[in-house]
Each structure stands twice: as C-alpha cells, then as structure tokens.
C-alpha cells in the first residue's frame, strides 16, 4: 500500500545507522518496540512539540519519519517538507524495519516488538 506518492520516500534498506529517525507512533506503540536512538514525537502531539524536532534534528541533515506502516509518517513528512525541512517517509514503517531484521527495543532497552 502506498501512502502519498508525492511524499519523498526511502526504503528501510537505504537507511544507515547514522541517519536521523523520527518515530511518530503513539506512546503504547513506542513502548512496545522502536528503533534505538530514534526521536519519539507522537503525531497527535507533533505540532505542539515541533520545537523538540528542530532542537534534535541535524541542521543540514535529512529527517527520516517512521510510523507503523507509513501513513502517519507520510503526513508528518509532507508537513515537514512544507516547513522547509529535508524530510522523507520511511516506506513500510516499523513493520518493514522489523521484517528487515533491524533491531527493535522496548522502552526499557530490551528486545521489543512492533505493534
């Protein structure tokens, strides 16, 4: 399923360990399992917490936005692009991340699962 074909998109296999990752899933999803090192700002709180992203994101780097399958992250990526941020949607989201064998940790740093 493709979300927002006009949204810049990158596949999980194209990501490197140094890429900046923004996870926009809700708290329960994050707590169950996420990519270590990702910044977590739920989509439902994104506009009010936008400053956290601008403080954490690399000044001249790309923001890779991820959710469960790609719908919410596509919306946030498009919003960021409209704000002049170099942002891309991670195709397939955390489901693709997990399926590719990338590590998933819970909120305690232990092995997690994508819900």
Residues forming the active site: 67
d(CA 21, CA 50): 15
The per-residue b/e assignment along 25-59, b for 16 or more CB within 10 angstroms, e otherwise, is: bbeebbebbbbeebebbbbeebeeeeeebeeebee
Alpha carbon separation from 68 to 54, 60, 106 (Å, rounded): 23, 26, 15
């Amino acid at each position: 399923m493709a979300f927002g074909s006009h949204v810049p998109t990158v596949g999980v296999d194209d990501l490197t360990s140094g890429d900046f990752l923004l996870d926009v899933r809700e708290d329960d999803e994050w707590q169950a399992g996420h990519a270590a090192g990702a910044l977590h700002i739920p989509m439902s709180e994104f506009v009010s917490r936008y400053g956290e992203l601008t403080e954490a994101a690399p000044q001249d780097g790309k923001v890779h936005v991820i959710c469960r399958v790609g719908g919410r992250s596509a919306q946030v990526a498009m919003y960021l692009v409209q704000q002049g941020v170099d942002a891309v949607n991670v195709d397939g989201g955390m489901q693709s991340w997990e399926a590719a064998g990338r590590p998933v940790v819970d909120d305690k740093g232990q092995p997690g699962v994508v819900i």
